[in-house]
Amino acid sequence: MFYQYADSGSWTESTYRANESDFELLKFRQRVAVNLADRTTASTMIGERVAMPAAIAPVGFTGMQHANGEILAAQAAEAFGVPFTLSTMSICSIEDVAAQTTRPFWFQLYAMKDRDFNRRLIERARAVGCSALVVTLDLQVLGQRHNDIRNGLSAPPKPTLSTIADLVTKPRWCLGMLGAKRWVFGNIVGHIKEVDDMQSLSSWVSGQFDPKLSWDDVEEIKNIWGGKLILKGTGIMDPEDARRAVQVGADAVVVSNHGGRQLDGAPSSISALPAIVDAVGDKTE
């Protein structure tokens, strides 16, 4: 269930496959007779020193892939020296991860219809010292992911016959999860009055993705946050949207099609990158 959640795309998965195949076409430019004695991969991202110009992207359900997965991933990123991004749909909460790390991490926000929840979530991220807010723009309508529907994806897994049969074959995972800090979405459960069980959680989440999300909302989020803002999502797959991101004050944009998990038929992320770089130049990272 959770493996297929991570290793699949939406609809026909054509964009999901193109992400990999197009990236494989890139090759290194090999030079010679260049002094490599002081070579380094160290760089900066939004003003932060990093061991290499890469960051751990936000992934929902990480704490279901592995017990306390978000905490372990944040600790690994901290040890290596790259940013970690915690998803709104994480199992471990913002506070859980902050309590187990010493380096500020980034927090990814899904802009929900419940604006008060958005504000409180942003305030929680600020309170623990998150150094950047990463706003995802492409989940106004959830992409149809056939594997998730077929598997009945949920956190924790629903006790169906197929799920129980699957769990029997994974005793190590089961034992690990028995000692996990949480089994549900830690950023949501306990922070929404209407959510007190798995059924109400599922109903609330499915009804919260906002099809009316606009650039005005992005500006409002930026004003509430007041810190470094990174915009992410299929919306930043087009030069016009990249220029709009600069206009609203984004400190960086992530050229992403959500791993091919939203709009199937969109171009690969890497193929969209050159046109966006040309459009924004050095106005944003």
Catalytic positions are 258
For β-strands 85-86 and 106-110, DSSP reports them as parallel
Here the tokens at position 195 are 């959510």
DSSP state of 10: S
Spell out the SS3 assignment of the chain: CHHHHHCCCCCCCHHHHHHHHHHHCCCCCCCCCCCCCCCCCCEEECCEEECCCCCECCCCCHHHHCCCHHHHHHHHHHHHCCCEEECCCCCCCHHHHHHCCCCCCEEEEECECCHHHHHHHHHHHHHCCCCEEEEECCCCCCCCCHHHHHHCCCCCCCCCHHHHHHHHCCHHHHHHHHCCCCCCCCCCCCCCCCCCCHHHHHHHHHCCECCCCCHHHHHHHHHHHCCCEEEEEHHHHCHHHHHHHHHCCCCEEEECCHHHCCCCCCCCHHHHHHHHHHHHCCCCC
User: From CA 94, how far away is CA 181, in angstroms rounded?
Assistant: 13
Whole-angstrom CA distances from 235 to 5, 213, 240 are 22, 11, 9
User: From CA 15, how far away is CA 31, in angstroms rounded?
Assistant: 33
